[in-house]
Structure 1
Amino acid sequence: MNVSIPDMTGSRRIALLVVDGVSMLDVAAPSEVFAESRHASSNYELVVCSPDGKDVKTGSGLSLHADGNAHDEGPLDTAIIAGGCSLPTRTLTPEHISAARHLAGRARRVASLCTGAFVLGAAGLLDGRKVTTHWNHTQRLQDRYPKADVVHDSELVTDGNFITSAGESAGIALTLHLLKEDQGDRVHSVVARDLVVYQPPDNAGSGAATLTPRNPLVRRLTEEILADPTAQYTLADLAHRAAVSPRHLCRLFQEEVQTTPAKFVEQVRFDSARSLLDNGESVTNTAYMSGFGSMETLRRAFINRLGISPRAYQHRFKTVA
């Protein structure tokens, strides 16, 4: 593929290809990440293109304005091919395929969001490449494009100047990855902190392991919880261990660690679960090894604190090179 490399002394021009049925998340996520990056001194110009330059309707029925015709685009920093729920099962139009091929041929770097990989496959751009798509459709992608090497368990896969992604959070994960490639860790961290790494709702924070209560009774209990998050820690059980009333124990915890005993236990288990997932443990094993006891309880804890499931958390920055 002959690629015209744009002059990168100015802004980086990013073309996002959309068609009717596009996922709104695939449009909103790159838009927000690149917009947020401007506050961190990076410079991107995102244009939304359709195969004919006409506006499109998203899969949710909202109208989406197209900035222009994909075939009119010149040299690009990055071409991003958006996905949609119907892409794996519908027949792609020649115009859609041609637009993807045109943008890819003029870009320094090519990326697909979730099921956008099916468009790259139809354009003949996945042959011999390691790729991924939404995990519900990886086998379908492999069957349809057998010359591609489809990865079934990763959210981001890079192969040369091609980056493919999977899952509901693919837009943010992939765009942050592009940002890190371009701007380095500092800008990536600033934007990720603002858009992705949410703080827990209570004051226990994610640093429960570093707390050192001054009260010896509370210190002993917190050390026991940290040493074995899987044990039973009901309020009545903890109060019995401390030989105080449940009400008094709650008051001591509020004074020493600014949270309740129950929330402290859950935070320790959450920290343990994150560590296990970061080290590659399965979600099922993590649920029991961290003390949550069930995958549903673990899932609720991650949704409440991070806004994503444990599986999505584990896949978010897991990249196959």
Structure 2
Amino acid sequence: MQRRILIVVFPGFQLLDMAGPADVFSTAAMLGGGYKVEVAAVRAGAVPAGNGIAVTASALGEVRGPLDTLLVTGGLTAPDQARDPELIGGITTLAADARRVASVCNGAFLLAQAGLLDRRRATTHWLAAGELQDRYESVEVDADPLYIEDGNVWTSAGVLSGVDLALALVARDHGHTMARDVARGLVVYLHRPGGQSQFSTPMSAMTPRSEPMRELQAYIDANPAADLSVPALAAHVGMSERHFSRVFTAQTGLSPGRYVERSRADTARRLLEVTGHPLDTVARESGLGTAETLYRVFRRRWRISPGDHRRRFHSKER
């Protein structure tokens, strides 16, 4: 049985969002997977990617016959492309007859605009997650997973996570063995450990409105090994513990305890990336105390071990 994979592109799309999944499916086809990859856009002809390389696409309105998978790419222009009625109309029409629908990176904006993510859990590039949630309140956005399956709709995180998504689709269609063989052929992980938060910039929290809270936030980040208990922090700004906790949470979006742990975890992450310190030293200097606590925090926050993070991100040149 041949499975038609239609990849939707638009001017300014991310080339890797198309090329990664396309190579996964074409490699699986060589192994007997029966995939046929096609590319379509609003208008037939050459469609320039964000890096200037153009691909040849057919017209969405001229696509005929049933589709196995409709896969929508992302790119820097995707949020603006979501306002193109021809593009969204084409996606909506083709999705109705496709066995499943998927997006790569912020291609999720196009699925959301087409109503395909309503009341569904979805992911996108970590940089775009906040905007996606703000624009489409009916979507439950989770910025950490590399991909999410909700019914017959799949979404993936940033850029190369489209490869993770495509491998998962091959595994669903043909089993683990074929997906493993495709991954080996492409020299990529079949299942990458952790989520995309391990690749994101250090934690995000709202900047406090008041000067005392801003100064305290900076103090916490600069002194991870200090006493950062609620009593100590409340005394630092001259507030009662109860009032301090309420004000800090309201102005940063995080409780004091949660903010401190995240700040210490990000400090530990940076130390692992730029130093060769032993894990117990990293734990002590980041305020996490022991290597055991460091390990637990990393497993809980990023689903990888501190050692794995160092092996993947440590720079010997720093």
Smaller-chain TM-score range? 0.5 to 0.7
Contact 2:126 2:143 in 1 (8 A): yes
Cα contact 2:122–2:150 (8 A) shared by 1? yes
> CA–CA distance in 1 between the matches of 2:310 and 2:159?
19
1:126-275 correspondence runs (5 A): 126-197=117-188, 230=279
Q: Which protein has greater RCO, CA pairs closer than 8 Å, 6+ apart?
A: 1
State the match for 1:88 in structure 2. Answer: 79
Residue in structure 1 matching 2:50, options 36, 44, 59: 59
CA contact (8 A) 2:43 2:58 kept: no
What residue number does 1:203 align with?
none
Cα distance in structure 2, aligned partners of 1:120 and 1:62: 24
Q: Are 2:294 and 1:280 aligned?
A: no
TM-align CA RMSD: 2.8
The alpha-carbon distance between structure 1 residues 168 and 53, as it changes in their structure 2 partners (threshold 3 A), is same
2:29–2:36 CA contact under 8 A, matched in 1: no
Measured after TM superposition, the shift of residue 40 of structure 1 is 2.0
2:114 pairs with 1:123: yes
Aligned residue in 1 for 2:313: 299
User: What are the superposed Cα offsets for residues 258-281 of structure 1, whole Å, 9 maximum, x if unpaired?
Assistant: xxxxxxxxxxxxxxxxxx79x935
TM-score (normalised: structure 2) = 0.61
Cα deviation, residue 194, structure 1:
1.9
Q: 2:94 aligns with which of 89, 93, 103?
A: 103
- Output the TM-score relative to the length of structure 1: 0.61
CA drift of 1:285 comes to 8.5
Task: Confirm or deny: 8 A CA contact 2:69 2:101 kept in the other structure.
Answer: yes
Contact 2:39–2:57 (CA under 8 A) maintained in structure 1: yes
Gaps of 5+ in 2: 190-277, 282-294
Structure 1, unpaired ranges of 5+:
1-9, 199-228, 233-275, 302-321
In structure 1, C-alpha distance between the alignment counterparts of 2:312 and 2:52, rounded to whole Å: 33
Aligned length: 214
Tell me, in whole angstroms, the C-alpha distance in 2 between the residues paired with 1:165 and 1:281. Answer: 21
Whole-angstrom CA distance in 2 between matches of 1:91 and 1:116: 9
In the TM superposition, 1:11-26 aligns within 5 A as 11-26=2-17
Q: Quick one: distance in 2 between partners of 1:231 and 1:153?
A: 27
Deviation at 1:91, TM superposition (A): 5.5
Q: % of aligned pairs identical? A: 37
Q: Give the secondary structure class of the aligned counterpart of 1:65.
A: strand
- Does the 8 A contact of 2:133 with 2:139 survive in 1? yes
